[in-house]
């Protein structure tokens, strides 16, 4: 590698995903974290799923309008996979390669919970689609915001105001309870990647818990690696 080539190499950015049920506060917390990282002079990109890239945003409209549900759970899962493939290859992977931290509102865990646990889509299909769409890409940290279902639905209703509920907000309470159970199961099964955070406090209280997790698991670890390289 020449000297000029070396200057073009960036350390990989960290990939943080936010998960949780409707009304858990993912969008709020992801933006608060982006502001905190900016204050620490860490470049961060905020994105979302389904969506985040031009092609994926078109698919997002189809999914949230309810058209995907009419096609059945397997076909709807394929729509999510198509959106994720475009998002990963056109936005997430390039940003990480440039050393930018990527903060994503929902990712593969949402598919595991919404389409897998609740929709009963075969786990083998979900695994195959993950291999195709994300390959070896995995979040460095997944923040799962946990909130009682009734509280989350009230928050979601207040957020949308007079607008009609989307494809998932319109589901019944048992659907959302299964979602919560699914996320809690993921947090328990993958503690090295996931952190379960009580989202019932104020925005500021929750943000402090998120920041503590990011500092402890990513920022301090990165600093230690720089000071004590292998």
For residue 17, the domain's CATH number is 3.40.50.300
Asked, for residue 75, whether it belongs to a domain, the answer is yes
Asked, for residue 27, whether it belongs to a domain, the answer is yes
Q: What's the Cα-to-Cα distance from 77 to each of 44, 82, 110, 121, rounded to whole Å? A: 28, 9, 11, 8
Tally of domains in the chain = 1
- Could you tell me how far CA 187 lies from the centroid of its own chain? 13
Asked, for residue 25, whether it belongs to a domain, the answer is yes
Asked, for residue 74, whether it belongs to a domain, the answer is yes
Domain containing 67 equals 12-225
pLDDT tens digits for the chain (230 residues)? 334 344 445 689 999 999 999 899 999 999 999 999 999 999 999 999 999 999 999 999 999 888 888 888 899 999 999 999 999 999 999 999 999 999 999 999 999 999 999 999 999 999 999 999 999 999 999 999 999 999 988 888 888 788 877 778 888 899 999 999 999 999 999 999 999 999 999 999 999 999 999 999 998 765 554 555 55
Asked, for residue 44, whether it belongs to a domain, the answer is yes
CA 16 – CA 193 distance, rounded (Å): 10
Asked, for residue 230, whether it belongs to a domain, the answer is no
Asked, for residue 41, whether it belongs to a domain, the answer is yes
Asked, for residue 1, whether it belongs to a domain, the answer is no
DSSP 49: S
């Amino acid at each position: 590698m020449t000297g000029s080539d070396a200057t073009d190499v960036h350390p990989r950015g960290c990939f943080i995903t936010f998960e949780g049920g409707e009304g858990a506060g993912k969008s709020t917390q992801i933006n608060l974290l982006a502001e905190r990282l900016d204050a620490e002079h860490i470049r961060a990109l905020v994105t979302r799923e389904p969506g985040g890239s031009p092609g994926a945003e078109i698919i997002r409209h189809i999914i949230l309008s309810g058209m995907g549900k009419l096609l059945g759970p397997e076909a709807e899962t394929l729509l999510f996979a198509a959106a994720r493939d475009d998002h990963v290859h056109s936005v997430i992977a390039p940003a990480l390669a440039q050393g930018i931290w990527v903060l994503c509102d929902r990712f593969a865990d949402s598919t595991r919970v919404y389409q897998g646990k609740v929709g009963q889509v075969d786990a083998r299909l979900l695994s195959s689609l993950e291999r195709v769409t994300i390959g070896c890409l995995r979040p460095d940290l997944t923040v799962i915001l946990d909130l009682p279902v009734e509280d989350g639905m009230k928050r979601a209703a207040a957020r949308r105001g007079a607008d009609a509920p989307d494809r998932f907000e319109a589901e019944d309470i048992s659907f959302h309870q299964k979602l919560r159970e699914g996320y809690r199961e993921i947090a328990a099964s993958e503690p090295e990647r996931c952190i379960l955070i009580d989202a019932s406090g104020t925005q500021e209280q929750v943000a402090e818990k998120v920041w503590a997790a990011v500092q402890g698991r990513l920022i301090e670890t990165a600093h230690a690696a720089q000071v004590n390289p292998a």
